[in-house]
Amino acid sequence: MYSLLKNFSKLPLRLIQVTARSVGWLLYVSNSSTRRVTEINLKSAYPELSESEREQLTKRSIKSQCMTYAESVKIWGSAPEFALEQIKVVHGEDIFLDALQNPNGTLAVVPHFGTWELMNAWVNLHTAPVIMYKPSKNPDVDRFMLEARQRLNATLVPTDETGVRALFKHLKQGGFAAILPDHVPKESGGIYSPFFGQNALSSTLLSKLAAKTQCSVIGLSCLRREDLSGFELHVQTLSAEINAKDLQLSVDTLNKEMERMINVAPEQYLWGYKRFRKVYINISIYK
């Protein structure tokens, strides 16, 4: 598997994208589980869309999801300079640089949206981030990812209490960290909060860190151009209520802000993930 990933990453990016888009088309026409979950999520998130509009969004989303995974392999197997060459425009760079001046540190909200792996090289031009890392169940994939991430200035910490303490310490020293907060957490690490039409179990980690440190909180996303001519990085100012001591208010605000980020290009979100496995009172929408 390791050799396969290495060799795949040597292919031209455009060929990888076109191939991945074809795989996405196959997943759509074969009524795959990816299609089923994507359709259910989009129906919940965008009930105002007509059936034909939602069908078109589902097709685009599945193709985009496949491209995101394939692009990530390409990025992991390439030098950081390659990733930087793909970023054609940075929107809101001044927001990012201003946030880094906060002596209490900076937290980036990075949903599973766009090609998030591409941002690492750009972030490392300006700061040395601490990133939580959960090893892959496949040792070859894990080795491949680690090699890529260790080429940069990032410090990888585990997704446990040790990692949380490391993040907190880094922020208190004025450092930068990125968190992907739109996963389904354990019950002990989440509260229920509205997210795209579902009162979903939502992570509290970012909110707790923001409240304790009063760090800057910004949104980061990297979106693929429709013509595949490159990517555009977006830095966004997020609501100050994410730093609120009221945990429910903070998580509710965080979810709303992620919705706002995702609605810029909803087809590039990872709708194939069962984000609504745990919803308050209601039976899982996937059953």
221 - beta bridge partners? Answer: 234
What does the pLDDT average to over 64-80? 94
Total tally of structural domains belonging to the chain: 1
Considering the domain boundaries, does residue 67 fall inside one?
A: yes
Q: Which long-range contacts (CB under 8 A, 24 or more apart) does 81-86 make?
A: 81/121, 83/118, 83/120, 83/121, 83/122, 84/121, 84/122, 84/125, 86/13, 86/118, 86/230, 86/231
Residue 50 pLDDT > 80, yes or no?
yes
Q: Which domain holds residue 20?
A: 2-268
Q: Round the average pLDDT of the chain to a whole number and report it.
A: 93
- Looking at the chain, the whole-number percentage of residues with pLDDT higher than 90 is 80
State the SS3 of 46-86: CCCCCHHHHHHHHHHHHHHHHHHHHHHHHHHCCCHHHHHHH
What does the pLDDT average to over 52-80? 95
Considering the domain boundaries, does residue 282 fall inside one?
A: no
What does the pLDDT average to over 280-286? 81
Considering the domain boundaries, does residue 285 fall inside one?
A: no
The band of 6, judged by pLDDT with boundaries at 50, 70 and 90, is confident
Considering the domain boundaries, does residue 214 fall inside one?
A: yes
Span 181-202, pLDDT tens digits: 999 999 999 999 999 999 999 9
